[in-house]
Amino acid sequence: MSLKAQADGTLSADSRKFEGLYIGINSGTQSIFSTATINELSVPGQSSRWTAEFLIAHRWQFLNNRIVFGLEVQVGLTDGNLDRTFNGLRQLEIHFSNNSQTGLGYTLGYVAGEKQNLLLYTYLYQTRRNFDISLKDDGRVIQWQRDIQTVLRFGLGLEYNLGKRFSTRLTVGSQSPDLNNDIDIEEVPELTLGFIYQF
């Protein structure tokens, strides 16, 4: 841990509350969506669903300990099973199946407060989800498809250092359409609450 100069010229070990290796968990709602292809038409499914992300990351503090830059790797669980119907020449049932996601991204923030225990930050994550898609006609599976999806998630976060190496965080954000498939989606905000352990 980095040290902070005190008035007598000595250093305290309590200066950089947000620097170093940390692990944590974020849980909340995200917009989950996927796209099936039927007769060359793209048919999307979308819903706001619960997710839980486990993360390992590292942050650096600089410029009088007020600026924080971090890199995060995430592995998440999702409630990502979606269903919808498609009315064409015949009515088809579409089931999108997903229960996990992975991500990589960065955070950039400012340490506020006299005690320097409040972090205001922005985030940008590249998140990947894989969907198995089944098309059913009268309850019978007639086709399987695979959707490998990459989205950008971005937003604002607030993290408060509780002391004893623990922090809690709140994020509010949104996400881009699939970078691999130019399909418009509904803009649905994401909201997560997290807990951090700093080594």
pLDDT value at position 72?
97
Cα–Cα distance for residue pair 192/171, rounded to 1 Å = 5
User: Is residue 166 assigned to a domain?
Assistant: yes
Q: pTM here? A: 0.85
User: Is residue 83 assigned to a domain?
Assistant: yes
pLDDT value at position 87?
85
pLDDT value at position 188?
87
CATH number reported for the structural domain that contains residue 134 in this entry:
2.40.160.20
User: Is residue 6 assigned to a domain?
Assistant: no
User: Is residue 12 assigned to a domain?
Assistant: no
DSSP letter for each residue of 102-123:
EEEEEEEEEEESTT--EEEEEE
User: Is residue 98 assigned to a domain?
Assistant: yes
Give the total number of structural domains in the chain: 1
User: Is residue 9 assigned to a domain?
Assistant: no
pLDDT value at position 76?
96
pLDDT tens for the chain, 199 residues: list them: 444 455 444 334 467 899 999 999 999 999 999 999 888 888 889 999 999 999 999 999 999 999 999 999 999 999 999 999 988 777 899 999 999 999 999 999 999 988 899 999 999 999 999 999 999 998 889 899 999 999 999 999 999 999 889 999 999 999 988 888 777 778 889 999 999 999 9
pLDDT value at position 14?
60
Torsion (CA) 38, 39, 42, 44 in degrees, nearest 10? -20
Alpha-carbon distances, residue 18 vs 65, 104, 105, 175 (angstroms): 9, 19, 17, 26
Contacts of 37 (CB under 8 A, 6+ apart): 43, 145
User: Is residue 112 assigned to a domain?
Assistant: yes
- Structural domain boundaries enclosing 63: 21-198
User: Is residue 59 assigned to a domain?
Assistant: yes
Alpha-carbon distances, residue 195 vs 8, 26, 155, 165, 176 (angstroms): 35, 7, 18, 11, 25
Handedness of CA 18, 104, 81, 23 (dihedral sign): negative
pLDDT value at position 179?
85
